[in-house]
Structures are given as structure tokens and as C-alpha cells.
Amino acid sequence: MMIDDNAQILRIYKDYNGLCTATAKEIAEQLQRKTDSVLGLPTGKTPMGVYQELIRMHREEDLDFSKATTFNLDEYLGLSPQHALSYGHFMEVHFFSQVNLQRKNIHLLNGMADNPEVECREFDAAIERAGGIDLMLLGIGRNGHIGFNEPQSSLTLATHVARLDDSTRDLYAGEFGSREKVPEQALAMGVLPIFKSRRILLAANGSAKKKVIGEMLSGKVDTLLPASLLQLHGNLTVLVDAEAAPE
Ligand code: GLP
């Protein structure tokens, strides 16, 4: 990929606030253009400020989610949405309970599904039925994962049960109390539904993400750095704060 292309893909903001405001504005504009937009949503520290800004816009500027549909990227296998560390709980607290999305339009992978394989197939079918994702918001792991598509010799296209990388479990050991308590597996939206999204925004902040942002935009594609695949997507924007901006 040419440097010039990268210049268009990458947008650098002064700080986390600027990054979140700009990212939320993109999502709001998508919803204003198409009120029944289908959004792909992440969890993590990065999007928290984006959700806060969207909630503010909903309260103060009447940003309307009533016709929108959402699909979340992932969930830990074995955690119910009531579990304080589940992604379902995260989304409920930080976003869903504070905007006017209709419950029937919210799609979360169920970490307690009797048959996780069936759960994944039904999730992909629901994305298809909704007409695919209009706007996908992604974070990025320090190891280059997107959702829970971890670095591997091959990546899985469909939504699937994924094994968490050792480095990912190490990172979340503090949150869960110990590394052993971090679930070993998760349900992860596959690379294909992510890739078929008509527009992808990837947001990253902080110096811990600087290296991986440089690598994902290096002009090389490597399944050991899943986010690097996104360089092939025709409508990707990577939004970073100054600390996460590559050299
Ligand atoms: C988790 C999630 C990803 C997220 C990543 C980065 O691993 N499965 O979807 O992008 O964390 O999280 P953070 O924004 O907290 O750095």
C-alpha cells in the first residue's frame, strides 16, 4: 500500500477526547444519513468515550437510535450477560441503557448458549438478514487482534468459538483476579462479517497501541496481525490520538 493511501486511511487527533468526538460524529452522521443503520460495536476501554459522546448527542441533540440495529463483536464463553465482566454487561451499562435502541434490535453473542456453534451460525444469519453491517467500529488489541480474532496461521471467516491468546489472557488477568480466571475461549464475530461491513472505523489511543497501529498499516498483510487485513478494505478509516500515531 502506498504511503499516500495510508495518509487518507489514518486520521490523527490531539488527544483521546478529540478521537472520541470525531468517531462519535462519524457514527452520528451515518445514523442521520440512514436512520435504520446496522452498526457493529466493540467493547474495551477505547470506545468508552465514544459511547459517552453518543449518549450526550442522544440526550442533547436528539440523536435517534430507535430504528438502528446493533451487533456486538464478541463475548467470553461461559459468561452470562449478567456477569460483571461480560461484554453484554459492559454494553448495557456503558451504552444500551442510555440510548433509545429497541431491545429487539440489539444482538449480542450469548456466552452461555447451550450450543455455541449454533449460536455463532445464527448470529451470522441475523447479520445477513439485517442486510449486513453498514458501519463497523473496531478497537485493536496490542497483538493486532480485532474482536477476538487472535493472531494465527489462518483466520476463521465465520463467527466462531475462538481461543484467547496467552498475551490477551495476561492483559485481562488483573480484571478477572488472575490469569487462570480469564475465560480461555470467546465467541467472536468472524473476519468475513467484519470485512463485509460497508464502512470500518478502527479507533486506538495511547502509546501502548502505537507499535501495532504502525504494523497494521505497514503495507503487508499477515494473519499473525489480523488488523493488517483491513488494509484491503476499500472503506477503512483508522482514528488515533497523538500517542497512538505511528512514526
Ligand atoms: C478486547 C476486545 C476487542 C478490543 C480490545 C481492545 O480484546 N475483544 O474487541 O478491541 O480488547 O481493548 P481496549 O480498547 O481496552 O484496548
Candidate from 20, 41, 43 with most ligand 1 atoms within 8 A of CB, to mutate: 43
Annotation marks residue 107 as catalytic:
no
Q: Which residues of the chain have pLDDT under 70?
A: 1-8
Measured distance CA(206)–CA(79) in Å, rounded: 29
Q: How far apart are CA 103 and CA 73, in angstroms?
A: 17
d(CA 178, CA 122) in angstroms, rounded, equals 33
Centre of ligand 1 from the C-alpha of residue 47, in Å: 9
pLDDT of residue 124: 98
Are residues 163 and 150 in contact, defined by beta-carbon separation less than 8 angstroms? yes
**Burial profile 109-130: b = 16 or more Cβ within 10 angstroms, e = fewer:** bbbbbeebeebbebbbeebeeb
Question: Is 45's C-beta closer than 6 angstroms to any atom of ligand 1?
Answer: yes
| Rounded CA separation 52/31 (Å) | 16
Q: Which pTM value belongs to this model?
A: 0.96
The Cα 53–Cα 196 span in angstroms is 26
- Please work out whether the CB of residue 147 comes within 6 Å of at least one atom of ligand 1: yes
Grid cell locating 193? 462479517
CA gap 168, 5 in Å, rounded: 31
Q: For residue 94, indicate whether it is catalytic.
A: no
pLDDT at 8: 67
Please tell me the distance between residue 194's alpha carbon and the centre of ligand 1 in angstroms: 15
Residue nearest to atom 9 of ligand 1 (CA): 147
**Burial letters 184-207, b for 16+ CB under 10 A, else e:** ebbbbbbbebbbebbbbbbbbbee
226 lines ligand 1 (CB under 6 A): no
H/E run at residue 241: strand 236-241
Q: Identify the residue whose C-alpha is closest to ligand 1 atom 3.
A: 147
pLDDT value of position 2: 40
Residue 145 bears catalytic tag = yes
Question: Is residue 46 in contact with ligand 1, taking CB distance under 6 Å?
Answer: yes
pLDDT, tens digit (0-9, with 9 covering 90-100), for 132-168? 999 999 999 999 999 999 999 999 999 999 999 999 9
Q: Which residues pair with 13 in a beta bridge?
A: 241
CA atoms within 13 A of residue 232's CA, in its CB half-sphere: 13
Closest ligand 1 atom to the C-alpha of 206?
16
Amino acid at 155: L
pLDDT at 247: 85
Distance CA 97, CA 88 (A): 11
Alpha-helical regions (H) of the chain = 3-9, 16-33, 48-61, 87-94, 116-129, 166-176, 191-195, 210-216
